[in-house]
Amino acid sequence: MIPRLDNLNPVQSLYLEFFNQLTAKGFAGDVNPDYANRVVLATDNSIYQVLPQGVVYPKQTSDLVMIAKLASEARFKDVVLAPRGGGTGTNGQSLTDGVVVDISRHMNQILEINAEEGWVRVQTGVVKDQLNAALKPHGLFFAPELSTSNRATIGGMINTDASGQGSCLYGKTRDHVLALNSVFLDGSEWLSEPMTDAELEAVKQRNDKVGEVHRLVDAIHSENRALIVDVFPPLNRCLTGYDLAHIRTEEGLFDLNSVLCGAEGSLAFITEAKLNVLPIPEYAALVNIKYAGFQDSLEDAKQIMGCGPTSVETIDSKVLSLAMQDIVWQTVEDYFPQDAAEPEIKGINLVEYTAASQAELEAGVARLTAYLDEVNQQPAKSFGYSVVYGSAEISKVWAMRKKAVGLLGNAKGQQRPIPFVEDTAVPPENLAPFIAEFRALLDQHGLAYGMFGHVDAGVLHVRPAMDMKDEVDEALVRTVTDGVVALTQKYNGLLWGEHGKGVRSEYAPAFFGELYPQLQRLKAGFDPFNQLNPGKIATPADSGAELLKIDEVPTRGQQDRLIPLAARDEYSQAMFCNGNGACYNYDPKDAMCPSWKVTRERKHSPKGRSSLVREWLKQLAEHNTDPVAEYHKVRASNFLFTLPGRLLNTLSLKRGQYDFNHEVYEAMQGCLSCKSCVAQCPIKVNVPDFRARFLELYYGRYMRPVKDYLLAGLEPLLPALAKWPGLYNALTQRPAMRAATAKLLGLIDNPAMSPESLAGQLEAQAVELATVSGIARLNQADRVRSVILVQDAFTSHFEVQLVLDVIELLQRLGFNVLLAPFMPNGKPLHVHGFMKGFEKTADRNTEMLKALESTGVPLVGIDPAMTLTYRQEYRDNPERDQVEVQLLQEWLAGQSDALKGYAADYNLGAGEFVLLAHCTEKTSAAASMKGWQQIFADCGQTLTQAATGCCGMSGTYGHEAENADTSAGIYKMSWSGVVNAPENRDRLVATGYSCRSQVKRQDQQQIPHPLQRLLYLSR
């Protein structure tokens, strides 16, 4: 049995007192010094891991005022604070060993949109894509772009002065900041916007922090004008952080925002921002240009820039090939046609044009294509291109490019691309020679890498592949960074071109030279005791404090290497999570992680769960416990023999005994096992997989709730129960019984069994059970038109009519339908961590299905989630035979003639329908969604897929009383609106059993399966 884990790094007493005082003063947000929160917020996307003392989640500006005031009291002078947004920084920007102040959980409202004047006011926890989604109906957008736009916050963007694709036209974040509402360290609140000298003089008279910082910043600027001009390079990506060069606007106004933007949370908390927004360009085109060499694509950029595009982005063959292996490729593959006669693509330039009219757009594109046609196939020039028109299509290519950044982390092996020199900027004309030397430096150390970047701005993204668990590789961080710093200096560039400084601030004194003491003076004015994100950008003058050093901050690799190899291998999914945060996707219409979206608690995300599992493995190792050996022990143990121990442990837990295992358990319990992470995480982090294995060990120590046995054991019992559906329904559906089941077992809204059993109906539809001998007796013609429906527990017992309808439709299409004998599939066992039972069930079922498969008749499953188990959970055991069970649409999409014949025979007419797909199916078998559209098209119908996230049911999750609120919350996020939209009335179809039953439960509507809809058209 796994040991109790209570050997934690305790919260320091000073911080405990700080948290107690906050609570006592009426802090409205959450104060979380628990270990799970600390572990989850100990990482960002950098190589570092720093355990904070606790996390606070302010609800409103007054909470931040309270934090700042308390921290400025003499007794709390040693308390340090780091503001945090999406936590997507690549250089430890939001990491601290003090208090993380996470502004993103609650302060994420768009406060005001003024379309007429072209500005918005937002709380700084708003995510960039969230803002643009709200602006879209007004024809506006917030222009600064970044790859993490679906999870990075406006606060984070302002504080790193973020920018990306399109920066040559649109500039950086600070170019769009009109006003900022900040809280300074003494608790004063200040709305900063450009001001006249008279206004400045008035503010300077104030006798508080606001007056002090205005006096100071103005003095620093006036005293050092010439030096400032010398030090700040005239690059598109000029120096961020304490930007003294732009204290005065072009109109001569004094602008404090210039030092606040890019300050990385080291000067103030920024609570609200007024931002400039622009009209969405009406006309846009993207030219995708192919090269046989990456260096060629870089060299060609100069000529391309001469053709006047809006932006030029480049990606190398490594990044491209990773994108090609991901589901994202399906959305863009048509734009990258590959002719066998052409050379292999080794580099791509993506060139965007935007314009106010179609004619202007076409003229721009024509300039470029004329050049490309002229040099086509010449040495070091491109060998082909495609043009994409319209922002909807173009955004698919940009989404692929954005995702490619994360995909780089999915390289095979222990050495994975990591960020630390990933955003250098040099004058664009120096980029090609700079990159040639950069590559030579990496080659010299034998490091593999992928590259992409903004050629137009001279910004290059490189992530060398290293294993930070290996001390030799770890030491290379210093060697390579020093080498790259020297190179950027040689080419008049910067180490920090885009992502901010963070831990790399140690290079700031060298870059700023004589001006650096002025930065220290500035920091001292805002933060004299070095409490706000200390060690980043600059230390306060005369404080003796030092900047962080790239090789002195604790790294994740140092923690991970404490985990024994066998455990790392067993939990490689959690080990390889690189923290890029793609699972924090804000979009309610995207399937990625419903549990994070509904709770806004990061421990309930794939990244949070991975972080907790790594910490858990480390702690097990500290207790000399090998999780792999523990599986064997748990599987070999006797239920009764281990009962007293589990009972005692459970009692102790209930009496309040602390166990870190339980914190991990709580995070795992929140997971719906929807599997969206498996397909959508660029690293394919498979939470349901490690969750199941964790639960197996956890329940080796603690008692399982009775409901787990019922839910997991229902499958094999159902055939027997189905003999008396009336009795089953009487026992489960009466109000008193429902109340009792909810109270005693924690199960709610249990579905009613179909009144007639499937077995009893088969004869009427002339359907036989599939057997090897029966199929052998079929003549060749009948065998060719045969198909075997593989039953699943849910449709076969709770939706008998659906199974019968599917059979009827397939028969009308001319198929000989056979039904595989019912065998439990085992998915519920897996979900609840009964791994021994699952393995046995999967083996038995595979044996039966393999025999049927050997007949050559296709095997097809109706329910997507259950069917996909055969190619996912079943294949996790490499020793098990693989069986091919297709999704209905995968098989039926290949039966075009039969479908067309059916449409003609029954004169179906034309209709328009909307598909609500099961999230496991649309993420794990994304290509098959086109299959549904094909099937409907062959029947003369139009089918469009609704953009939805998870429905909130996911198997039995929604039936567990403890999940009632989150399940309903998830449903409301994206399903309820689509289900109740008047235009969707009688047009919806849903593929998943779970989804249909969730709609019935939440909205009392019965949505048919797509094949039922097609069948009903013929009646």
Q: Do 929 and 684 form a contact (C-beta atoms < 8 A)?
A: no
Segment 270 to 289, residues that bind ligand FAD, using CB under 6 A: 270
- The residue behind tokens 């039972």 is 837
Please report how close the Cβ of residue 696 comes to ligand SF4 at its closest, in angstroms.
17
If the CB atoms of residues 172 and 830 are measured against ligand FAD, the closer one turns out to be 172
Task: Locate 533 and state its tokens.
Answer: 């994100």
If the CB atoms of residues 757 and 963 are measured against ligand SF4, the closer one turns out to be 963
Alpha carbons 201 and 895: distance in angstroms, whole number: 79
By a kind-dependent CB cut-off of 5 to 8 A, residue 148 interacts, out of ligand FAD, ligand SF4, none, with ligand FAD
Closest CA to 154 of 114, 184, 196, 110: 110
Alpha carbons 146 and 144: distance in angstroms, whole number: 7
Q: Is 86 in the site for ligand FAD (CB under 6 A)?
A: yes
By a kind-dependent CB cut-off of 5 to 8 A, residue 606 interacts, out of ligand FAD, ligand SF4, none, with ligand SF4
Q: What torsion do the CA atoms of 668, 671, 677, 679 make, to the nearest 10 degrees? A: 110
Segment 510 to 539, residues that bind ligand FAD, using CB under 6 A: 533
Encoded one letter per residue, x for contact with ligand FAD by CB under 6 A and - for no contact, window 164-203 reads: x---------------------------------------
Task: Locate 929 and state its tokens.
Answer: 């969604």
Alpha carbons 941 and 943: distance in angstroms, whole number: 6
Alpha carbons 937 and 912: distance in angstroms, whole number: 10
| Strand partners of residue 768 | 818
Q: Is 688 in the site for ligand SF4 (CB under 6 A)?
A: yes
Task: Locate 108 and state its tokens.
Answer: 């994420």
Alpha carbons 782 and 770: distance in angstroms, whole number: 13
Residues that bind ligand SF4 (rule: CB under 6 A) add up to a total of 26
Which sign does the torsion angle of CA 327, 333, 339, 343 carry?
negative
Alpha carbons 407 and 416: distance in angstroms, whole number: 11
Please report how close the Cβ of residue 22 comes to ligand FAD at its closest, in angstroms.
18
Please report how close the Cβ of residue 974 comes to ligand FAD at its closest, in angstroms.
23
If the CB atoms of residues 148 and 846 are measured against ligand FAD, the closer one turns out to be 148
- The residue behind tokens 């008049």 is 492
* Long-range pairs of 489-492 with CB within 8 A, sequence gap ≥ 24: 490/437, 491/426, 491/427, 491/430, 491/433, 491/434, 492/233, 492/426, 492/427, 492/430
By a kind-dependent CB cut-off of 5 to 8 A, residue 677 interacts, out of ligand FAD, ligand SF4, none, with ligand SF4
Please report how close the Cβ of residue 146 comes to ligand FAD at its closest, in angstroms.
3
Tell me how far CA of residue 110 lies from CA of 113, 241, 586, 632, 757, in angstroms.
8, 26, 14, 52, 53
Q: What 3-state DSSP class applies to 996?
A: helix
By a kind-dependent CB cut-off of 5 to 8 A, residue 457 interacts, out of ligand FAD, ligand SF4, none, with none
Q: Do 568 and 575 form a contact (C-beta atoms < 8 A)?
A: yes
Segment 31 to 60, residues that bind ligand SF4, using CB under 6 A: none
Exposure string of 404-413, with b = 16+ CB inside 10 Å and e = fewer, is bbbbbbbbee
Please report how close the Cβ of residue 403 comes to ligand FAD at its closest, in angstroms.
9
Please report how close the Cβ of residue 274 comes to ligand FAD at its closest, in angstroms.
14
Which sign does the torsion angle of CA 114, 120, 123, 128 carry?
positive
Q: What 3-state DSSP class applies to 56?
A: strand
Encoded one letter per residue, x for contact with ligand FAD by CB under 6 A and - for no contact, window 404-433 reads: -xx---------------------------
If the CB atoms of residues 591 and 758 are measured against ligand SF4, the closer one turns out to be 591
Please report how close the Cβ of residue 244 comes to ligand SF4 at its closest, in angstroms.
36
| Strand partners of residue 112 | 121
**Contact region with ligand FAD (CB under 6 A), list: 7-15, 152-160, 195-203, 979-987:** 152-160
If the CB atoms of residues 498 and 659 are measured against ligand FAD, the closer one turns out to be 498
Q: Do 476 and 445 form a contact (C-beta atoms < 8 A)?
A: yes
Please report how close the Cβ of residue 778 comes to ligand SF4 at its closest, in angstroms.
41
The DSSP element (H or E) to which 122 belongs, if any, is: strand 119-123
By a kind-dependent CB cut-off of 5 to 8 A, residue 264 interacts, out of ligand SF4, ligand FAD, none, with ligand FAD
Closest CA to 996 of 1019, 1014, 1016, 1012: 1012
If the CB atoms of residues 255 and 863 are measured against ligand FAD, the closer one turns out to be 255
Segment 576 to 615, residues that bind ligand SF4, using CB under 6 A: 577-583, 593-595, 606-607, 609-610
**Contact region with ligand FAD (CB under 6 A), list: 150-158, 297-305, 377-385, 849-857:** 150-158
If the CB atoms of residues 484 and 685 are measured against ligand SF4, the closer one turns out to be 685
Q: Is 49 in the site for ligand FAD (CB under 6 A)?
A: no
Segment 560 to 599, residues that bind ligand FAD, using CB under 6 A: 580
State which of residues 683, 747, 823, 926 lies at the interface with ligand SF4 (CB under 6 A).
Answer: 683
State which of residues 146, 217, 431, 979 lies at the interface with ligand FAD (CB under 6 A).
Answer: 146
Residues that bind ligand FAD (rule: CB under 6 A) add up to a total of 39
CA 773 to chain centre: 49
Site for ligand FAD, rule CB under 6 A: 44-45, 82-90, 93-94, 103, 124, 146-148, 152-153, 155-157, 159-160, 162-164, 264-265, 269-270, 405-406, 498-500, 533, 580
Site for ligand SF4, rule CB under 6 A: 577-583, 593-595, 606-607, 609-610, 671-677, 681, 683, 685, 687-688
